[in-house]
Amino acid sequence: MKRICVLIVLLVCTNLVQAQKYIFFLHNYFLEVAGVEGVHPEYGSAEYREILNDFTNAGFNVISELRHRNTDVKEYARKTVKQIDSLLKRGVPASKITVIGTSKGGYIAMYVSSYLKNKDVNFVFIGCCGEEDEAAIPEINFCGNILSIYERSDGSARSCLKLKDKSLNKVSRFKEVEVNTGLKHGFLFKALKAWIEPSIAWANGKYE
């Protein structure tokens, strides 16, 4: 009887884990340097806590941490891949895992996509693709359901379409959204509906 009860508990726990939805949020470089209390001279404070709260309030288990200054992009991407693999081994469907990255965090997310090579995991790259990336980082090779978001007034990050087109892995879905807040690269510092709502919709499997 005791063994049956243990099995029932394990089954319930497994079902609960599998029913959860997960977001890995990878923040921008400024937070590595200045932390959550820092104030950018042009863009102001980075609303890290508010962004995490928005994702949590939308029903996601949010996995995020403040990275150390000058974190190696590739090493951190491999660390994130291991975390995702752990969830997959516990039975979490790949479609319920989303990696969202802003600016430098977006580059980390691109490497996660390239290393993980899982066509069902969701990715959101925000304000991170540059004009020279196709030649500068040839190892980037998207895989999964890819949403790219960039700001019209941002002079440092644009469309991810060229990187998507050169990718040899399986890009199951690709969508790109241009927002127009007038905040330049500072748009991703803020917990704005303009990029948070499309990210949540993508993480919920609303790909249209």
pLDDT per residue as tens digits for the range 91-139: 999 999 999 999 999 999 999 999 999 999 999 999 999 888 877 888 9
Tell me how crowded residue 185 is: count the other CB atoms within 10 A of its CB: 21
Q: What is the average pLDDT across 167-178? A: 92
Q: How much is the pLDDT for 134?
A: 77
**Measured on CA atoms in the order 81, 156, 142, 55, is the torsion positive or negative?**
positive
Report all structural domains of the chain as residue ranges with CATH numbers, in order of start.
21-203 (3.40.50.1820)
Alpha helices, DSSP H, located in the chain: 2-19, 29-34, 48-57, 73-89, 104-116, 133-136, 161-166, 193-203
Q: What is the average pLDDT across 187-204? A: 98
The answer to whether the CB of 119 falls within 8 A of the CB of 97 is: no
Of 122, 116, 175, 120, which is closest to residue 150 (Cα–Cα)? 175
The helices-and-strands tally (H runs, E runs) of the chain is 8, 8
The answer to whether the CB of 21 falls within 8 A of the CB of 59 is: yes
pLDDT per residue as tens digits for the range 4-63: 434 333 333 444 556 699 999 999 999 999 999 999 999 999 999 999 999 999 999 999
Q: What residues contact residue 93 under an 8 Å CB cut-off, 6+ apart?
A: 18, 120
The answer to whether the CB of 84 falls within 8 A of the CB of 116 is: yes
The phi, psi pair for 76, rounded to 5°, reads -70, -35
Q: How much is the pLDDT for 16?
A: 52
**The model's pTM:** 0.91
